[in-house]
Structure 1
Amino acid sequence: MPPLEGVRVVDLSRNIAGPLCTMLLGDLGADVVKVERPEGGDEARNHAADGGTSSYFAALNRNKRSVCLNLKDADDAAALAALLRRSDVLVDNFRPGALDRLGFGDERLSREFPRLVVCHISGFGPTGPWADAAAYDHIIQGFAGLMSLTGPEGEGGYRTNTSVADIVTGLFAANAAIASLWGRDRRGDGGPQHGGDIVHISLLAGLLNALPYQAATYLTTGEAPAPTGNQHPYIVPYGTYPTAHGLVNVCVGNDRLFDRFCGVLGLGDLRADRRFASNSARIRNRDALNALVVPAFATRPSQEWIKALRAAGIPCGPVNTLPEALTHPQVEALDLVLELSDGAGGTFRVLGSPFQSERLGDVVRRRPPLLGEHTDEILAELQDDATGEDR
């Protein structure tokens, strides 16, 4: 049985961070009810240049049911209240205060639904001078300092080409929701103090927590980290190197690996060179070491180097394009690409769940829903449960 079977999650979120959080809860067995606006639904549904299936939406909304509710309508707001009364988790990513204006502020949620775990995802958090500011991933990448660390040495100011703030925040939010559920059920019933919880998580806090050692460097030394391109700031050699054909990534994380690395590259004399005797020494003499390593890599193609480095137990790999990665035998062996119905007679391919567990079984139990596909079904369930006890 999936670990979250029997748990119901109400998803008021859209775009990336919240939908990722709730999709992961659905992967673990929760019944996720995605509440959407009747006019257009989740904004991510419209992120398709050709007007077809939105890859944004398809990638983040499996294992969910969709119900259309206009939360400014009294009857639909009452339906949401009935749904919350029979649910365990609420996830939203409105700006702070928006749910209050809709009549579902924290005071009401705590009073009427004391066992509900509420997870608020926002751009900048519930307090502070930027609390009410609109935010997307790109804004947070700049605000949190990540863009200052990203790009070629001496430049910086580059956006990471994935929505990393949204993604890590969604992961943190899923962890927080599961932990709060666990805590609620361990405490047992018996009043609000034994009930649910209200969790706040922001894209800003999430992304800053994805920069732990960079932040610690500044907080402990006062020195601001700078962009280092494809080189690691604190481990040498560790980076991307051009070869006779293609690029190779190499991570030499300790002195034992460095000894092997020198042997594979035919640079055995470096083992006795005091400039490179420890990682600290190699950091100080990075340019001198790379001046010897780069010409060595240029003598053979990347695939030959990868074969030799792997044989020596040195972490290494190719620099693939995304199509090369998605069609690689290793990805195929993990069954990470799935073909799903689009609900309209066609199919599309998306990434599968990262979870692999015998007890989970088939993680993908539902394709991403059409807008309002389950409205009648869910409203009928609420009618059937009208005389039942609250959760």
Structure 2
Amino acid sequence: MTSSDPAGHPQLGPPLAGIRVLDLSQVMSGPLCGRALADLGAEVIKVESPAGDITRTVPPFVDGNGLYFTHVNAGKRGITVDVRNAEGAALVRRMALQSDVVLENFRPGVLERRGLGADQLLAEHPRLVYCSISGWGQQGPWAQRRAYAPLVHAQAGRIELTSRLRGEPPRQEVHVHADIYTSFMAVSAILAAIVQRERTGFGQHLDVAMGDALLYTDEWASTDLAGYGPDRVMDIWNHVILPLADGSSVTLVGSPVRMFDRWVAALGGTAIDPTPSDDDALAIITTLVAKVPDYQTFETLLENEPMLVAEVRSVAELAETDWAIERNVFAEVHPGARVPRAPFRSRHATIGVTADAPHPGEHTDSVLRSVLGLDDAAIAHLRSTGAVR
């Protein structure tokens, strides 16, 4: 905190420096939460079984790690422990008692059978923040229900709503929304619990359910609970996307039919009186847009108009824009492996990814030495019993 900005405000370093997170989670809902905490400066230790996180197998691969895995595990230290082994479970327990946060997304009851449940650890470590992510909560009639993001999409209304409003058959989502939203709900919950711990001296058990997260982030949930019909004012799913002459596409905000005359004039068309039907008006605008050679020309034609448009881009194309380059949006954590650098920026705190994702068991020895003070003989014994790899 020695340097400062022109206003004299000190540079604060990483917000979560000194916080240790034991990340027992796998796949997406927990690991993305752990990645965010690491980006905020926490020491995040990812504990994997000997089989490894299944997302390690998702191609493409860079330096042996799947990029899907790298995306949500960059910046963590990685150890391999078999919690089915009694010594392995005891080892994880000792590490949890030396941590500020435990993050897990096992089915409720699984970790309790290994002596690693929330109540068991909080009894010895009352300052611990223990975050459990599940499909439908830690108790109740659906606690043991299998919960993968595609299933929760179906059961929590997302697929039905999309189908109803688009007037199309139900189909699955491209992104694992249930996992992603739950991850960031868990981040918020953990940060709130850490703040509360500073006031009260006590940690707590956090119950973060994918079902809750999907409903909380469904802006139409209250509307649908009221039984309101299919017509919506904020109907962005009806905003049209049209092709340009070069094969690229543009998205238009709102219905262009409502400003038909301005669209025709801006795109060099011939005024039509009376205004055609909505279907015919859209067809005319589509034809005019298709004659525009490229997006730069399209944007120039509309620069003095109130219509809002944007080019449809891929992530790779966005990465080459001046915005992404100037903002330093992506970080290359290993040659050929780029990930989004940070969830947000701060003028005064250090935010963002600091390292590649770990290889299987990459930091087992160093973590056991630094966290538990084990020596080479003790680590060798754990390996001989199959507790660690």
TM bucket, shorter chain: 0.7 to 0.9
Structure 1 equivalent of residue 184 of structure 2: 171
The superposition leaves residues 108-131 of structure 1 with CA deviations (integer Å, 9 ceiling, x where unpaired) of 122112111111111222234332
Residue in structure 2 matching 1:55, options 64, 67, 86:
67
Matched, 1:20 2:32: yes
The amino acid of 1:183's aligned partner reads Q
Cα distance change of structure 1 residues 311 and 334 upon mapping to structure 2, 3 Å threshold? farther
SS of 2:226's partner is helix
Structure 2 equivalent of residue 340 of structure 1: 333
Structure 1 equivalent of residue 209 of structure 2: 202
Residue in structure 2 matching 1:64, options 65, 76, 79:
76
Cα distance, 1:222 vs. partner?
A: 4.0
Say how many residue pairs are matched.
356
Structure 1: runs of 5 or more not aligned: 190-194, 227-231, 276-284, 387-391
Query: Which runs of structure 2 are paired with 1:104-253 in the superposition (5 Å)?
Result: 104-150=116-162, 153-187=166-200, 189=201, 195-213=202-220, 215-223=221-229, 234=235, 238-245=239-246, 246-252=248-254
Residue in structure 2 matching 1:73, options 78, 85, 89:
85
SS of 1:354's partner is coil
SS of 1:184's partner is helix
Matched, 1:324 2:324: no
The superposition leaves residues 160-184 of structure 1 with CA deviations (integer Å, 9 ceiling, x where unpaired) of 2122221111111111111111111
Residues 11, 34 of structure 1: 8 Å contact kept: yes
Cα distance, 1:22 vs. partner?
A: 0.7
SS of 1:32's partner is strand
The superposition leaves residues 253-312 of structure 1 with CA deviations (integer Å, 9 ceiling, x where unpaired) of 9xx999977874679999x99x9xxxxxxxxx9768646644553453451333333554
The superposition leaves residues 226-274 of structure 1 with CA deviations (integer Å, 9 ceiling, x where unpaired) of 9xxxxx8536983323444432112249xx999977874679999x99x
SS of 1:200's partner is strand
The superposition leaves residues 96-146 of structure 1 with CA deviations (integer Å, 9 ceiling, x where unpaired) of 111112212232122112111111111222234332122222222222222
Residues 310, 316 of structure 1: 8 Å contact kept: no
Cα distance change of structure 1 residues 330 and 260 upon mapping to structure 2, 3 Å threshold? farther
Residue in structure 2 matching 1:42, options 24, 41, 53:
53
TM normalised by structure 1 equals 0.79
The amino acid of 2:197's aligned partner reads R
Instruction: Name whichever of 369-378 and 21-30 sits farther off.
Output: 369-378
Residues 75, 355 of structure 2: 8 Å contact kept: yes
Cα distance change of structure 1 residues 263 and 205 upon mapping to structure 2, 3 Å threshold? farther
Residues 165, 206 of structure 1: 8 Å contact kept: yes
Give the whole-Å Cα distance in 1 for the aligned partners of 2:336 and 2:242.
39
The amino acid of 1:324's aligned partner reads E
Residues 79, 367 of structure 2: 8 Å contact kept: yes
SS of 1:132's partner is coil
Cα distance, 1:376 vs. partner?
A: 1.2
Give the whole-Å Cα distance in 2 for the aligned partners of 1:244 and 1:269.
22
Structure 2: runs of 5 or more not aligned: 1-12, 376-389
Aligned identity (percent) is 32
